[in-house]
């Protein structure tokens, strides 16, 4: 089953799909090529898996190429990805050189002729060294580069500078660059298992399976079991609120597996929650889309208060389900949570607890913020908007005259 843009007619803002069709007509005949490192998994593969068919459905001549490398190449890319997110050990210059050459070597086997080539993430980034003379090249960074290790960024920035423009999810994710820095927020797919409408019975079935009772108002945070998620603070928040109004907290996420940090965080959470029947820590597998969907729909109030975060699309997911969200100021959360309109951003455990008390005791307020939240996501964070961004990018980078 391939995705069609018109499938979104019921959920996208009225008139917006017509606009995409019109713009796509204008852009007819221009080739738009995407390059990343994999067809499967989260991140850019998941995004392209949806964007590419939708753009093709619009009649855009869109392509998707994948760079390949040996295990050493992928291992280096993994280290680089860690290094651009924070302090890391220096990588040997030879290893960086090998990575860049391996990536660039893909140019020989890939058809890179296009009016716009959009290169995603770090793995294929050095391909730009072999860019053909024709066509615009844009790099989509996707990640937060603001904390990148200096030495790693210094070696990468030269290649990044060879692009005609770079795309970031937020201005604060950007590094200083001489090329135009375009801002494209990520989006959610309202028709995916994680976000599609569920019946009451479907929700109940999932809750039964996860053994989550519905006897009390439900607080939910969906985030990985990681230190950055600040889960102990979430528990303290819940306990502070619970003194005033009885409720249940579910912490759901992945990131445990063979990850020592995740296991440690999970253990700490379990220890804090020992003896509290209203606190559940649910470890979910990576493909637990339906489970997250059902939990978000069952929740009364959704929390998302990590210390550090990427864009934090879990917020938009909950908002799409009409839930008021209490969020921290990390990453892209303040872009999604408009204070007192779609939810609350808070700066402390106490602040979060106060807003929970308010929201749990005031169904009208929940309904107002939740309704605004869903509309805000409809306008700003659905994949149809990102399809529009791609078309706008294509229009801008290939403008004629």
Q: Which stretch binds another protein (CB under 8 A): 2-10, 29-37, 283-291, 370-378?
A: 370-378
Contact pattern for another protein over residues 136 through 175, marking x by CB under 8 A? --------------------------------x--xx-x-
- Chosen residue from 88, 276, 389, 398 binding another protein by CB under 8 A: 389
For residues 30 to 69, the per-residue mask of contacts with another protein, x marking binding by CB under 8 A and - elsewhere, is ----------------------------------------
Q: Name the one range near another protein by CB under 8 A: 21-29, 97-105, 259-267, 293-301.
A: 21-29
CB of 328 to another protein, least distance (A): 12
Q: Determine which residue in the list 338, 351, 357, 358 makes contact with another protein, applying CB under 8 A.
A: 338
Taking the complex as a whole, the smallest distance from the CB of residue 185 to another protein amounts, in Å, to: 9
Residue tagged 């253990």 (tokens): 267
Q: Closest distance between another protein and the C-beta of residue 339, in Å?
A: 7
Q: Using an 8 Å Cβ cutoff, are 132 and 163 in contact?
A: no
Which residues in 173-212 contact another protein (CB under 8 A)? Answer: 174, 176-177, 180-184
- Cβ at position 116, least distance to another protein in Å: 13
Say whether residue 256 binds another protein (CB under 8 A).
no
Which of the stretches 13-21, 33-41, 65-73, 89-97 binds another protein when contact is defined by CB under 8 A?
Answer: 13-21
In contact, 272 and 242? CB cutoff 8 Å: no
Give how far Cα 133 sits from Cα of 115, 129, 196, Å: 11, 11, 43
Interface residue with another protein, options 14, 134, 150, 200 (CB under 8 A): 14
Residue numbers of the site for another protein (CB under 8 A)? 13-16, 18-19, 22-23, 26, 168, 171-172, 174, 176-177, 180-184, 329, 334, 338-341, 347, 372, 375-376, 379-380, 388-389, 391-393, 395-396
């Amino acid at each position: 089953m391939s995705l069609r843009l018109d499938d979104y007619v019921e959920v996208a803002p009225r008139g917006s799909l017509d606009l995409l069709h019109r713009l796509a007509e204008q852009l007819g005949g221009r080739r738009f090529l995407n390059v990343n490192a994999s067809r499967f998994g989260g991140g850019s593969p998941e995004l392209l898996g949806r964007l590419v068919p939708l753009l093709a459905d619009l009649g855009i001549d869109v392509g998707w190429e994948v760079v390949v490398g040996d295990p050493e190449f992928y291992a280096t890319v993994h280290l680089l990805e860690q290094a651009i997110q924070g302090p890391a050990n220096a990588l040997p210059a030879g290893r960086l050189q090998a990575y860049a050459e391996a990536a660039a070597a893909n140019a020989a086997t890939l058809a890179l002729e296009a009016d716009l080539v959009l290169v995603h993430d770090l793995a294929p980034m050095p391909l730009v060294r072999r860019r053909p003379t024709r066509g615009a090249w844009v790099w989509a960074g996707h990640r937060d580069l603001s904390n990148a290790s200096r030495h790693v960024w210094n070696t990468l920035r030269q290649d990044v500078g060879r692009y005609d423009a770079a795309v970031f999810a937020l201005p604060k994710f950007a590094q200083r660059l001489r090329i135009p820095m375009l801002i494209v927020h990520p989006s959610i797919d309202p028709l995916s298992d994680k976000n599609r409408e569920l019946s009451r019975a479907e929700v109940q079935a999932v809750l039964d399976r996860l053994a989550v009772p519905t006897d009390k108002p439900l607080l939910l945070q969906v985030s990985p079991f990681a230190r950055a998620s600040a889960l102990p603070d979430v528990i303290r928040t819940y306990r502070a609120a619970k003194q005033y109004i009885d409720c249940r907290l579910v912490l759901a996420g992945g990131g445990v597996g063979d990850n020592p940090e995740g296991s440690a965080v999970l253990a700490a959470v379990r220890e804090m929650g020992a003896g509290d029947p209203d606190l559940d820590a649910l470890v979910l597998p990576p493909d637990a889309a339906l489970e997250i969907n059902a939990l978000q729909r069952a929740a009364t109030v959704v929390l998302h208060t990590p210390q550090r975060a990427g864009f934090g699309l879990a917020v938009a997911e909950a908002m799409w389900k009409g839930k008021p969200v209490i969020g921290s100021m990390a990453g892209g959360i303040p872009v999604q949570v408009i204070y007192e309109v779609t939810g609350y951003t808070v700066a402390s455990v106490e602040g979060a607890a106060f807003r929970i008390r308010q929201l749990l005791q005031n169904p009208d307020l929940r309904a107002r913020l939740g309704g605004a939240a869903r509309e805000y996501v409809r306008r700003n964070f659905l994949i149809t908007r990102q399809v529009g961004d791609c078309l706008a990018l294509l229009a801008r980078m290939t403008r004629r005259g």
